[in-house]
A and B are shown apart, each in its own frame.
Chain A
Amino acid sequence: MISVIDSIGLSVIKTVIMVRDFVVLTLRTLVYTFTPPFRVSDIFKQLYFVINESAPIVIFCVCSAAAVTIIESSFHMKIIIQNDALVPGFAALLILRELGAVVSALLVTSRVGAGIAAEVGTMQITEQIDALKMLGINPIRFLVVPRLIASVIGGVVLSILANLVCLYVAMLVSQYKLGHSAGSFIVAMRAFVSMQDLYFAAIKGACFGFVIPLVSCYFGFRCKAGAEGVGLATTNSVVTISISIITIDFILSWIFSYFY
């Protein structure tokens, strides 16, 4: 019994310490983000990595998601109300409020988040982080800040891009598969969604983009020696970011619901 209580107590203490360390990392990163020197070339390098190299994967996946969404919606609506005239509107609503931002963020997590955790973790175990400190470089300023800025901008850009591509593909599918004209799709869409939904999707993208590098760098900095350590840091970061994205999405959707 005592050992059970001990282990629960130990887990609570470990969690509190982890949360404290993460908050400290976040606050330090925020302070360094808004104070010079600004590493502009590093930010652009990371922007290229986040946006340019993620965009094809995001576009491919959201196209598939859009097609599935509209076909499935039509199938079920036809069964229940024998009519799928509302499908374009509902699909647009679902895409703009959830699908575009969340799917693109989860894809960026698997690509960028895992990449950052593995890179920083490897730097940690091969003493590169210590070498940075020895050369007078602050690792948070050098590694975390450029990735954070790039990821927030990338999150917004990819979220908007994913939503637009998703809507376009949904329109094509509804036109060629379901028989709705492009005009009727747009009319139905405008009845259900507005520009505000796109702004909210961009805000979601920024929030998801904020979490991805912070969590990845946090686990990277805590990486234990060996290939297993790097693997664990990467897995932990992807799992934690994915849970965070779903949780943040719920919180933001709940907050945004007061503005509709």
Chain B
Amino acid sequence: MSDAQVQFINVIKSFGDRTILKGISFEAKQGEILFILGTSGTGKSVLLKNLVGLLRPDTGEIWVDGEEVSQISEEKYFDIRKKCGMVFQHPALFDSLTVFENVAFGVRKHYDYPEEKIKEIVKKCLKLVHLDDVEEKLPQDISYGMQKRVSLARTVAISPKILLFDEPTTGLDPVTTNAVNQLILDLSKTLKTTSLVVSHDMHCALAIADRIIVLDKGNIVDQGTPAELKASKHPLVKEFLMEATTHA
């Protein structure tokens, strides 16, 4: 095991006769922002879900914070998940709870804080994602973009060591997209949080990533720093770069 906080070693994952991940190996060091880019259906979300045990790999090793987790029990995985926060593709907010209760949910579960401290944390996290006066609203009473930001606030609230983002800026306006990117950057620099960001937005990746992995049909086709990726000859990477230039 290297000094990596997250490491995949030859991970294979299939659904029926469809192999989604075909022997993936990579690592992410503490405080690093690692972007995993790829077109839709290439196994990016599957990769993240394997990391936190929401899916289990067929073969291969997955190391999280020095512990091999691919074959541990569901009960043991709860401890691993305490170290990880995940922002899902959907906002995944609990419909029956208010925004405040949603953000406070994980804090209440993980920490024995007094109510005043919980209120303070919730307010701080909502402020981080530029949300005010929505605490008492239900998720269905706010816009989709706001729901995604609440989801982000809920994840950050538990202060995880590793943050996983599954297309965090999809469906967000440019201002909020920049705010989310800045937040990922701040958390990485100030708290040394390791961030794995699944996305197909090369523009964002070039702006904030320390390293980028490009996934295609279950294989890593290229990886490196943004500067290295800019010089890539791989057709898919070139296509992503062209798209990023168009949107810049």
Interface residues, chain A, with chain B CB atoms under 8 Å away: 122, 126-128, 130-131, 133-138
Contact = CB atoms under 8 A, between A and B. Distances in A.
Contacts of B78: 133, 136, 138
B242 interface: no
A134 B86 contact: yes
A131 B92 contact: yes
A130 B49 contact: yes
Interface string B17-40: 000000000000000000000000
B52 interface: yes
Contacts of A136: 78, 81-82, 106, 109-110
Given A128-B94, A130-B49, A135 B88 contact: no
A134 B52 contact: yes
Nearest to A119: B95
Contact of A127 (B92, B95, B110, B158): B92
Nearest to A28: B74
A127 B89 contact: yes
A128 B105 contact: no
Contacts of B77: 133
A134 B156 CA distance: 12
B227 interface: no
B97 to A, nearest CB: 10
A129 B2 CA distance: 33
Interface in B104-122: 105-106, 109-110
A244 B205 CA distance: 53
B54 interface: yes
B93 to A, nearest CB: 7
A131 B88 contact: yes
B43 interface: no
B85 interface: yes
Contacts of A137: 109
B57 to A, nearest CB: 17
A130 B110 CA distance: 17
A130 B94 contact: no
Q: Which of A128, A136, A137 counts the most B-chain CB atoms under 10 A from its CB?
A: A136
Contacts of A127: 88-90, 92
A134 B85 contact: yes
29 contacts: A122-B95, A126-B90, A126-B91, A127-B89, A130-B54, A131-B86, A131-B88, A131-B93, A131-B94, A131-B151, A133-B54, A133-B81, A134-B52, A134-B54, A134-B84, A134-B85, A134-B155, A135-B81, A135-B105, A135-B109, A135-B110, A135-B154, A135-B158, A136-B78, A136-B82, A136-B106, A136-B110, A137-B109, A138-B78
Interface string B134-163: 000000000000000001001100100000
A128 B154 CA distance: 13
